[in-house]
Structure 1
């Protein structure tokens, strides 16, 4: 009797360990359901609705409860920035029955860079903080950090948003400027020809090791640079001047605590639109702020938007700088509770390895065959290349081709019974299927609408 009972116990244990083996039998604990980056409404209901997916948003639709990495591309006026703003609404706005369920708003960071000057345009993501009049939508606080030298200009640029945003100077404390931050600003590894004086800098950093402080490093560098020739000295001072411009020089007791830049339910925008900041310098600063964002404790998930990436990302700098930081984040997104959205007009500037790792691609309208060829090499699609490109060229504003192999939808599955053939709809992943979607309307202000000579 005891032998029979032991045998039953063993069989029950085996069944429990193999309960996940049936591909067509899913429940709320299923890993593919919990981590699907996107799904259809029908799939959402079939998967168990809110019991399986407690946090979601309507794009068509984005499930922001799980980490994801997305590429959003398209020419100006195709709906690219609108889509990015909709994704941010889904992740930052407290629960709204019209757009989804947000039990725990995320912490958002947007990296933005343009030419700068008084005729600059505000980052379009900032309009997420301004509700449509009379809508009653509770919007997230938006904080915009800019270079100190352009503070007044950028305050005027963001003035149309009123109290929806606050514009502040971007200043780092000495504690935040660790050895990695210094190397980022020195652009070490981003050039094939590293100046000889950088060997001295690296030697100082190695000698200081864990005892590194920014002031201690400066003191040691001051002694050693006495041996530099004028050309080396000029190069070093040029690289350190920008870092000094972003250093908070107030007494330590008066400096702002680093975590205050990021908070749950808050959108932080780093806008480095400044005529005195070039793309390489912007990448160095973005790399520092991204690293601080990853380290910040906000007690929720995070979303990082690389906005207008074509203005500062380089396809040739895959193993260093900001691109390397983004690669590391995407590869560890599940462990960092991170969502990464790369928005660009020109997908050819996005390094191939980033395209390979993105779990979602949203392709708005564009007409360049070179762009499509670059994307087609790195995305999974079961459609002939010419036919797919024709579809992209003819997309209407707001429409997009969605490629999301791990996304979920309902598909017809043919079954043969005695004397008849039937087609049942089952829940499954998109795989290599192309899905045509149209982004929903926004519930916050749209600051990126086209300006016409005559409005109708």
Structure 2
């Protein structure tokens, strides 16, 4: 579409370059011939009234006097899977969807039987269908047929009415054949009388029809030529039409002849399940279908795209639909708890989703939210930010509207598997792993920080492994507080952001801590009741790096699905995310890609 507009503008737009083309007159003649073809066809089929027909002819005759060229973009989608009609705007293109019932009606209305002549050879006989109200076989157009196909009161391809200062008499174009004496008058062309014919209006071609919206005049081409302001305008008689009302966008107009496809209609496509879900969130609309994401079952989702490609917007939408009941854009009788893991070795890269405590205030997005989804903006009222204890005061000053708490958990909440991750006892360090396992087995009923320290000091580990264990214990000590209870912070509808920005924390240390937190969050209950959670690994390429820890992460993700926890991995660098993790995904959401290597990497997992 972009290329078509570029080619047409290069040939026919007089304002495209200075100085103008030397062959402008030749191009004007070409444009006139091209547009006149559509003009004559519209007249021949009775879809154009007399006054605009003659005005358009006169305008095409005077293109050499100057004109301005503009374009509109429209598309028709014939959808056999749905009924009714609807409209949507996608990337400045207005799409009109025509459903199966209207397609069938249009096809059935096409005359397919040739007329039979009477014995005298003068008047064609109407067949039985015509006698029952169907159009006769020699009808040249469907415009007079009483159909339920909606007449659009507002669309991008509609031209505004231009009031005329002079009467216009019906022309007799050369291409119009002489009417037969037996042929009925073409009432569609005379339906909008000029000022001289008001006293004797033609009969209504559809006396039995009672449309709720008056049929406006139509125009055929989607690109229009306009006279500049300093030229004499070619005007048409102003007949009362829907255009007399104030101009409105097509999103402001109700969809005509549509089936029940409003905000309260049942979704068409459920992602993640093969049956309607009792809990879901709307991802968007496409081709007249409402696409929703299941929030009742547990899922593993991979979300990839370049920076600035809309990845974070999609991620934010999924987090909101999982945590905040906001009908009709979601149906959430049992909100999830959402946990976001954010890591950076610089203080500059702050977590994006702290802004969810404020409702959306973008005017264009609010209008789309209201018009297309019938919803109002809302803010997340329950947001918790967990940060390292030494950054607590700084973060509370930085985020005054958010509850900021230190990232702490008690040793009593940790199991042996958690200690292994914190101690880095994964991979192929067999001696280190065996000694730590022996220490934890000996003190399984009293696994505390001090007990493990003494066990490491008294063990037979080499000095370099003892030093490694003590460094890991020192890291864990920063987050262990026996008076804290991390699982009590998790509740339905709450968004928890773990902000781990620290230049002194390495990638594998951050990933190990995140895996432990994920496993702790999975055990949280609402009273005695289990509830589902959503864990988000944001910018996963920054810390999902160590092959040893990734194996443990993959195993943990497999287990999380049995504990009611969905996992979402978001990254702008897909090759950095292990294939073994992508393989677990039952959803892969792709935004803009710039590298063929990314697609090849994803192909390895599918």
Fold agreement, TM-score > 0.5: yes
> What is the aligned counterpart of 1:105 among 330, 335, 344?
335
CA contact (8 A) 2:422 2:513 kept: yes
Spell out, residue by residue over 1:19-52, the C-alpha distance to the aligned partner (whole angstroms, 9 max, x if none). Answer: xxxxxxxxxxxxxxxxxxxxxx9983599xxx94
Q: Could you tell me how far apart the structure 1 residues matched to 2:434 and 2:269 are? A: 60
Report which stretch shifted further, 345-354 or 122-131. Answer: 122-131
Identify the match of residue 257 of structure 1 among 468, 473, 485: 485
- Aligned to 1:113, the other structure's residue is in SS state strand
Instruction: Give, in whole Å, the separation in 2 of the partners of 1:219 and 1:280.
Output: 21
What do residues 28-79 of structure 1 show as CA deviations (whole Å, max 9, x unaligned)? Answer: xxxxxxxxxxxxx9983599xxx94332211132222222221100111001
2:593 aligned to which of 359, 362, 366: 366
Given the alignment, which residue of 549, 563, 583 partners 1:356?
A: 583
Contact 2:281 2:294 (8 Å CA) reproduced: yes
For 1:59-208, what aligned pairs fall within 5 Å after superposition? 59-60=283-284, 61-97=292-328, 99-117=329-347, 120-133=348-361, 137-156=378-397, 158-159=398-399, 162-163=400-401, 165-190=402-427, 192-193=428-429, 196=431, 198-208=433-443
Instruction: State how far apart, in whole Å, the 2-side matches of 1:321 and 1:378 are.
Output: 18
Kept in 2, the 8 Å contact 1:205–1:217? The answer is no
Q: Say whether the 8 Å CA contact 2:511–2:549 is kept in structure 1.
A: no
Map residues 281-296 of structure 1 onto 2, 5 A cutoff.
281-296=509-524
Q: What are the equivalent positions in structure 2 for 1:48-67 lying under 5 Å apart?
A: 52-60=276-284, 61-67=292-298
Cα distance 1:79–1:136, how it changes in 2: closer, same or farther (>3 A)? closer
SS of 2:344's equivalent in the other structure is coil
> What's the CA shift string for 1:324-351, capped at 9, x where partnerless?
322432xxx2x32222111011111222
- Displacement of 1:183 in angstroms is 1.0
Contact 1:308 1:344 in 2 (8 A): yes
State the shift of 1:219 in Å. 6.2
The structure showing larger relative contact order (alpha-carbon pairs under 8 Å, at least 6 residues apart) is: 1
Per-residue CA deviation, residues 361-388 of structure 1 (Å, 9 max, x unaligned), is 1111121111110012323xxxxxxxxx
Structure 2 residue aligned with 1:346: 573
Aligned to 1:301: 532
Change in Cα spacing, 1:177 to 1:142, as seen in structure 2 (3 Å) is same
Runs of 4+ off more than 6 Å: none
Q: CA RMSD in A?
A: 2.8
TM-score (norm 2): 0.48
Alpha-carbon distance in 2 for matches of 1:337, 1:71? 18
Larger radius of gyration: 2
For the structure 1 residues 143 and 361, does the alpha-carbon distance in structure 2 shift closer, same or farther, using more than 3 Å as the test? same
Distance in 2, matches of 1:45 and 1:200, equals 56
Structure 2: any 5+ residue segments left out of the alignment?
1-263, 285-291, 367-375
Q: Which has the higher helix share?
A: 1
Number of aligned residue pairs: give it. Answer: 317
Paired position in structure 2 for 1:417: none
SS in 2 for 1:341: strand
User: Aligned partners of 1:144, 1:71: CA distance in 2, in Å?
Assistant: 24
Which residue in 2 is equivalent to 1:214?
448
Q: What CA distance in whole angstroms lies between the structure 2 residues aligned with 1:150 and 1:326?
A: 30
Counterpart-to-counterpart distance in 2, 1:69 and 1:317: 21
Give the whole-Å Cα distance in 2 for the aligned partners of 1:223 and 1:337. Answer: 39
Q: What TM-score results when the alignment is normalised by the length of structure 1?
A: 0.63
Q: Secondary structure at the match of 2:413?
A: coil
